[in-house]
């Protein structure tokens, strides 16, 4: 699969993603719904039961008795392909909603969600701070977000520089963070900084040719700066032998960015990026600490590598959603 990823621009092959999901869509839902209780009962027999329940509680913080207005929710039976939900969000949610009774009601908000909804809603992303209980996380748009790489280049053999390659969406309020970084570090000797898009309000010299994920891996440091919501590249950077570098995150997804420990899982820099060179110099001068951080990041990634367990957690998150809204 890694060789296929290299051939297809270093991303999972979309053809196989669609084949798998259309096959899944063809399976009659009642067959799965009859098995749901049996599948969920496995959790009580597992040695990692407490870990699973901890993850479920993290993603779904709804209190019992949460109110889900009928007029603002839809039955699962109406969750069908081609009904207006973007393909990735449909397939990634349908993988789990198909296990539940069609009469159960829910609300899903697709896209990059940065505000907490006023009713219990299934989302891909949410703010880390404050009361975010109405934002129930599922692993949505995972074809784009949950990508992990194999990196055969040791940290000490990489180029002692940072790289930043992202798009800047000039119409999104959060993208001033990326613009601020470019204003500070474009042309800097410590960082190969560039953007992958053009816009009339951005200096044309900022735009640089596309480079693949694997091309990033020759650098010791990779910037992971939030855009519409989370930094999409954070997951795959943490699976490599390069160090992710970022200010403390403000949004989170299924990846539980809110549980990441600064300077243990990633290199934390100030929100104004002023200490980037200082932090790079420190870890290049202390490579054993950099390598320890890389091991911690790999350990963190490992918890998402068990597809069967991820399925159990996802089903329990939805089960709890229906319980807390008084439907089960």
- Write down the domain spans for the chain: 2-146+305-324, 155-302
Q: Where are the beta strands (DSSP E) in the chain?
A: 74-75, 105-106, 108-109, 121-123, 126-127, 135-137, 159-166, 191-195, 219-223, 243-246, 251-252, 267-268
Contact at 8 Å (CB) between 40 and 46?
A: no
Q: What is the pTM of this model?
A: 0.92
Residue 3 has pLDDT above 50, yes or no: no
Contact at 8 Å (CB) between 256 and 128?
A: no
Q: What pLDDT shows up at residue 97? A: 97
The order of strands in the sheet holding 121-123 is 108-109, 121-123, 135-137
> How many whole angstroms separate alpha carbon 24 and alpha carbon 100?
15
Q: What pLDDT shows up at residue 11? A: 53
> How many whole angstroms separate alpha carbon 90 and alpha carbon 81?
7
155-302 under CATH 3.40.50.2000, yes or no: yes
SS3 at position 49: helix
Contact at 8 Å (CB) between 101 and 33?
A: yes
Q: Which two tokens stand for residue 179?
A: 């613009």
**Pairing, β 251-252 against β 126-127:** antiparallel
DSSP line for 234-284: HHHHHTSSSEEEESPPSEE-TT-GGGPPBTTTBEE--TT-TTHHHHHHHHH
Average pLDDT of the segment spanning 179-196: 94
Residue with tokens 């000797």: 189
Q: What pLDDT shows up at residue 20? A: 84
Average pLDDT of the segment spanning 185-198: 93
* pLDDT level of residue 5 (50, 70, 90 thresholds): very low
Mean pLDDT of the chain: 92
Residue 7 has pLDDT above 60, yes or no: no
* pLDDT level of residue 12 (50, 70, 90 thresholds): low
Contact at 8 Å (CB) between 276 and 224?
A: no
SS3 at position 154: coil
* pLDDT level of residue 285 (50, 70, 90 thresholds): very high
């Amino acid at each position: 699969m890694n060789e296929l990823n290299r051939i297809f621009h270093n991303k999972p092959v979309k053809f196989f993603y669609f084949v798998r999901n259309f096959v899944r869509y063809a399976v009659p839902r009642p067959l799965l719904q009859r098995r749901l209780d049996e599948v969920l009962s496995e959790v009580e027999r597992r040695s990692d039961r407490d870990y699973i329940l901890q993850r479920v509680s993290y993603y779904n913080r709804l209190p019992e008795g949460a109110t889900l207005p009928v007029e603002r929710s839809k039955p699962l039976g109406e969750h069908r392909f081609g009904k207006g939900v973007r393909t990735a969000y449909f397939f990634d949610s349908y993988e789990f909603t198909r296990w539940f009774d069609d009469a159960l009601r829910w609300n899903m908000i697709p896209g990059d969600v940065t505000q907490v909804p006023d009713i219990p809603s299934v989302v891909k992303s949410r703010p880390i701070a404050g009361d975010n209980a109405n934002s129930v996380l599922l692993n949505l748009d995972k074809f784009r977000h949950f990508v992990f790489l194999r990196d055969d280049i040791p940290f000490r053999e990489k180029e002692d520089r940072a790289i930043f390659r992202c798009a800047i969406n000039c119409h999104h309020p959060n993208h001033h963070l990326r613009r601020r970084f470019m204003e500070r570090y474009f042309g800097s000797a410590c960082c190969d900084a560039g953007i992958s898009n053009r816009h009339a309000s951005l200096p044309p010299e900022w735009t640089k040719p596309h480079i693949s994920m694997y091309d990033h891996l020759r650098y010791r440091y990779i910037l992971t700066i939030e855009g519409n919501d989370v930094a999409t590249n954070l997951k795959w950077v943490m699976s490599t032998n390069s160090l992710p570098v970022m200010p403390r995150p403000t949004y989170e997804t299924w990846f539980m960015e809110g549980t990441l420990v600064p300077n243990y899982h990633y290199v934390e820099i100030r929100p104004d990026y002023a200490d980037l060179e200082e932090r790079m110099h420190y870890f290049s001068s202390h490579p054993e600490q950099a390598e320890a951080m890389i091991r911690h990041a790999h350990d963190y990634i490992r918890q998402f590598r068990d597809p069967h367990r991820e399925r159990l957690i996802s089903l329990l998150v939805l089960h709890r959603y229906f319980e807390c809204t008084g439907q089960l």
